[in-house]
Amino acid sequence: MSDSIIPDGIKINQRKILVNLEFITCDKSYEYEVSLNTEEKDHENTYSLSEHIKVNVGRSWDTIVNRSDTEIEVNGLENLKLTSGSMTPCLAFIFSLVSDKETLDRLKPVREYLKNIHYYPIDEPSGVKPTDIKNFVVDSDVYFKWLSEFQSSPDPECSVIMKLIHMWKDKEEKFEELKSLLGQNGLSIINDIRIDSLSLPHALGKIPKEEQTYYFVNFYPSLESDKISKVLRYHDLSYGTRRLLRMLTAILHDESTLLLLEQPEDSIHSGLLNKLVPLLTTYVDPSQFVVTSHSSGIINNLKAKDIRLVAMKDAKTIVRALTKVELEVVEAFICEEGTLNDFLESIEIEDV
């Protein structure tokens, strides 16, 4: 699913790393499995990839693609032998070489699903500082270059400002939806976002051109109606507000199949968390959210069946859902004693 797999940059302590993903998209169930096998030969590591993609048909699974190291087999194209580089991503390789429409149509939903799994870390994108001038005055050449790169290889961490301009220009409904969620009829954080464009006959400080367009992105905080609203730039917003803006822009703009959100509670007021979590829940389907959190404010706004406990034991990561018994007990606990977070504090992940 990634553009490249570079194992040399990763310390691998195990001989085999296996990832198995089952997912539903376009009303079908798929299984994608990839394993990276390492072997030490002459004091050097060699790697080989195995991958398969299966689709569920009734009670069984049909293999669509099977890859073993450099050899790729595609169901329906038995006469075609594909040999790739050992670290070449399978799906990207198939789509670049195979022209059979039926095969590509079968694989397209898988590719689209995997391509739109996005991870959103706590930190702001490292390449962009809030005080960067590009965050309130954007040269149209810079914007169109970003757009071209984003459309070919979307980076979910990229600039919020560029995404806002994109929504303002090409996704007006989404832009209005974002403003509604942030504004007085929603979370009451930012009353309005206005983007203005200004075309000048010559570029300032550059080689003269016929016309150069600049975009100005202004934020108007929520204030009482009889007060004059102050204009803020992106860097004037608090870290928590910028975080919230990033999350909601990601949900509306990126059209992710699966959003991996890291600690959404970070820098968000506890009162706002009580609104944010139900709001995220509302936007589930067709997207799915996987959220990591240490916060009772997040946990107490979720259902017990949606919780997964994660712990490290013996250098391994253990993940599990609540058991059937725990789910029964916690329902009564929440009705009679305390909160979901109180209950989770009392159980051990190893208690299975």
Residues that bind other proteins (CB under 8 A): 173, 176-177, 180-181, 185-187, 271, 274-275, 277-279, 281-283, 285, 300-301, 333-342
Cβ of residue 238: shortest distance to other proteins, in angstroms?
A: 19
- The smaller minimum CB distance to other proteins, of residues 24 and 311, is found at 24
- The smaller minimum CB distance to other proteins, of residues 261 and 340, is found at 340
- The smaller minimum CB distance to other proteins, of residues 133 and 223, is found at 223
Q: What backbone torsions phi and psi does residue 88 show, to the nearest 5 degrees?
A: -75, 130
Tell how far CA 292 is from the center of its chain: 13
Give every CB contact of residue 344 below 8 A, 6+ residues apart in sequence: 299, 307, 309
- The smaller minimum CB distance to other proteins, of residues 201 and 271, is found at 271
Cβ of residue 37: shortest distance to other proteins, in angstroms?
A: 43
Burial (0-12, 13-18, 19+ Cβ within 10 Å), 125 = middle
Query: What are the DSSP E strand ranges found in the chain?
Result: 16-25, 28-41, 44-57, 60-68, 71-74, 82-83, 117-120, 137-139, 190-200, 212-221, 258-262, 288-292, 308-313, 316-321
- The smaller minimum CB distance to other proteins, of residues 83 and 270, is found at 270
- The smaller minimum CB distance to other proteins, of residues 315 and 335, is found at 335
Determine contact, residues 107/91, Cβ cutoff 8 Å: yes
Cβ of residue 222: shortest distance to other proteins, in angstroms?
A: 13
Q: What is the CA radius of gyration of the chain?
A: 24
Name the pairing type of β-strands 137-139 and 212-221: antiparallel
Tell how far CA 248 is from the center of its chain: 12
Cβ of residue 269: shortest distance to other proteins, in angstroms?
A: 12
Cβ of residue 7: shortest distance to other proteins, in angstroms?
A: 41
Cβ of residue 279: shortest distance to other proteins, in angstroms?
A: 4
- The smaller minimum CB distance to other proteins, of residues 153 and 185, is found at 185
Report the alpha-carbon distance of residue 292 to residue 289 in Å, rounded: 10
Q: 49: closest CA among 26, 65, 25?
A: 65
CA end-to-end span of the chain: 33
- The smaller minimum CB distance to other proteins, of residues 74 and 299, is found at 299
- The smaller minimum CB distance to other proteins, of residues 4 and 225, is found at 225
Using the CB atoms, write b or e for 332-352: b if 16+ within 10 Å. ebbeeeeebbebbeeeeeeee
Cβ of residue 192: shortest distance to other proteins, in angstroms?
A: 15
Packing angle, helices 172-182 and 239-253, rounded to 10 = 140
Cβ of residue 246: shortest distance to other proteins, in angstroms?
A: 17
331's tokens:
């329902």
Q: What backbone torsions phi and psi does residue 277 show, to the nearest 5 degrees?
A: -65, -50
Determine contact, residues 204/233, Cβ cutoff 8 Å: no
Cβ of residue 244: shortest distance to other proteins, in angstroms?
A: 12
